[in-house]
Structure 1
Amino acid sequence: MIVRNASRSLLRASVPVQPIDDLHLPATDAGPERWLEQHAMRDWIWEAIEELSPALRLPLVLRHFSVGVTSYERIADACGVPVGTVRSRLNQGRAKLATALAATADAPHGNTAQRLHASRAEAHETLAAAESRRFGALMTERWSPEIALLRGNEPVGDRSVLARGMDGDLEAGVRQRLVHAVAGRSLVLWEMDLLSPADNPDHCPPSVAWLMTLDDAGRPHRLRLLHPRPVQALQSLTPM
């Protein structure tokens, strides 16, 4: 019940990502107490989520906080496990989250809003660097030296593969636009629209999610690229 009510509060409080020029401040008629309560609740939930094991944390975050990677099938693809395992891990994760919420009730909680703001800025900077052909340099500067591209749990490439894939997409006229972000201490999710070139509208899937596991220094260490909807042929960042 604690998890259910807290999640409903988060969902009611969530708003779509908008350009800053179109951003409307939340109404203040509910008073500062309500605003503080919502933010404190969000920080508390994320503190408890970080107490879960990585195997339980990942499907729980995708199921309840992502926009496009919420189905059992897509979560199974992300985790590299069968759908039945996803269901089992979600059940275990929810049960353990209730315990973690009780255990972290009086603990100091990180500033989730500040972390999310920083992650969105990082996503925009990453896309801008890529368009300036500096994606490889940015990875060297900000990402773990051991960064690896995964499919499920299997490594399929290193930073050179990522750099070639990004450069290839840009040369083909593909662009990405951030639409949603999730930021924890141990993992980050950037969900992007994929914009195909006008002369080839079916060049790539309509969207891609960057799921990054962070190392102890907070740098991307493992990256999974997920397409919320399956396609027959992928010509985007994920290598065939």
Structure 2
Amino acid sequence: MHAERGESSIDLVRAARQGDLGSLGILLKIHYGGMYAVAYGILGNSADAEDVCQDAAITAMSRLGDLRDPTAVSAWLKAIVRNNCRMRLRTRPPLPVGLPDGSAGTSFIDDPALIVERHATRDWIWDGLMRLTPTVREAAILRYFTQITSYQEIAQVCGVPVGTVRSRLSEARRRLAGALPGTVAERHDDITALTAERREEAIAVLSSVPSATPEASLSGRWSPEVEITWPTGDRLIGFSSLFAVFASDYADGVRYRLTNVVAGPGLTIWENQFVNPPEDPDHCPPAITWLLKEAEGRIQSVRLFYAPRPAPACDPEHPR
């Protein structure tokens, strides 16, 4: 209807920011050609250009509140595309957040989970994610809402080949970009309460040793036969094995700092940093990601992924 009435991009931006999210879908269609031209001009490959533009479209859906000047919408969208292209050319797949060099005249927090929490579109985006198949949803959530963004890292966390991750993310982008504009008028679940609940659960588990949290208090949510896959590939049964590791780390002076919780039906992701003791700064890797899968309301499996350790600094007097 907006297009037939001849409304400008400025009118559409203003309408979308006032809650008319259907205007955003029209806005993206209007500017998609220009976005694609920028991506193709940088990457020279139509498939990569489509991927980058679809990532940018999803970003724009969750970031509209960051666009302070409606007249800058074209530059804003193209800036997202250019940023993603640059990251792809650096061999790291693009994380669809952030704009380069403050080119849109605003400041951002490059944490997609926090961004979505700030805006009314949060539940809309999450509802779209929940409509994906579980395996596709899992890859998309890791890609867009955690620090696990490269295809290789997602493949390790999910336990699948890199090619499978690539195809799942392609399907996620295609389905989200096509489906979200058509679901803006529907009623969406509020994910905030679930995220807060899962955050409390993470805190309880990660602080289990110093607070002496009894394992029985977790039995309602954790299956006694939960399968835990460690980053080494080793598998253990039962969450008591986690407490043994916590106790060992805690005795060595290691602490945990929870940095992110992503929650949805059947899936929860925790990200936490290790705080190593000063006398042993390399005791644990920098961080760990937990992928918790549920069935019938109980956690049935956990996969763990260590963030890679930073490469040692090169000694210019003794190059490798």
Q: Same fold (TM over 0.5)?
A: yes
**In 2 relative to 1, CA 231–158 (structure 1 residues): closer, same or farther, beyond 3 Å?**
farther
- Which of 52, 60, 66 aligns to 1:5? It is 60
**Which residue number corresponds to residue 229 of structure 2?**
150
After superposition, the C-alpha distances for 1:19-67 in whole angstroms (9 at most, x for unaligned) are xxxxxxxxxxxxxxxx99922x11011111111111101111111110x
Please say if 1:83 is aligned against 2:138: no
Q: How far off its partner does 1:86 sit?
A: 1.3
Q: Is the deviation greater in 50-59 or in 158-167? A: 158-167
Q: Distance in 2 between matches of 1:139 and 1:4?
A: 36
Change (3 A) 1:114 1:9: farther
Question: In the alignment, which residue of structure 2 is the partner of 1:134?
Answer: 213
Q: How does 1:159-178 map to 2 (within 5 A)?
A: 159=238, 160-178=240-258
1:193 maps onto 2:273 in alignment = yes
Q: 1:61 aligns with which of 127, 133, 141?
A: 141
Do 2:140 and 2:172's aligned partners in 1 also have CA atoms closer than 8 Å?
A: yes
Question: What aligned pairs does 1:186-225 form with structure 2 within 5 A after superposition?
Answer: 186-217=266-297, 219-225=298-304
For 1:37 and 1:228, locate their aligned partners in 2 and report how far apart those are by CA, in whole Å: 27
**Number of the residue aligned with 1:226:** 305
CA distance in 2, matches of 1:6, 1:104: 12
Identity %: 35
Note the C-alpha offset of 1:117.
Answer: 2.3
Contact 2:62 / 2:119 at 8 angstroms: preserved in 1? no
Partner SS, residue 147 of structure 1: strand
Query: Which moves more between the two structures, 53-62 or 124-133?
Result: 124-133
Counterpart amino acid of residue 158 in structure 1: I
Unaligned runs of 5+ in 1: 17-34, 233-240
Q: Normalised by the size of structure 1, how large is the TM-score? A: 0.75
- Alpha-carbon contact 2:268-2:292 (below 8 Å) kept: yes
State the alpha-carbon separation in 2 of the partners of residues 36 and 177 from structure 1: 20
- Contact (CA 8 Å) 1:144, 1:215: kept in 2 or not? no
Whole-angstrom distance in 2 between the partners of 1:58 and 1:182: 11
- Cα displacement (A) at 1:213: 1.4
Q: CA deviation at 1:215?
A: 2.1
> Size of the alignment, in residue pairs?
211
Q: Is the 8 A contact 1:126 1:138 kept in 2?
A: no
Question: Which segments of 5 or more consecutive residues in structure 2 lack a partner in the other structure?
Answer: 1-27, 29-56, 66-96, 99-107, 312-320
Instruction: Specify the code of the residue in structure 1 equivalent to 2:61.
Output: A
Aligned partners of 1:36, 1:172: CA distance in 2, in Å? 36
Counterpart amino acid of residue 47 in structure 1: D
Q: Is the 8 A contact 1:196 1:204 kept in 2?
A: yes
Distance 2:151 2:260 in 1: 20
**Matched-pair contact (CA < 8 Å) for 1:133–1:167:** no
SS at structure 2 position matched to 1:144:
strand
Match of 2:193 in 1: 114
Q: Deviations over 1:87-124 (max 9, x none)?
A: 11100111122344256434321112222222222222
Structure 2 counterpart of 1:197, one-letter code: P
**Partner AA of 1:169 in structure 2:** D
Which AA in structure 2 matches 1:60? A
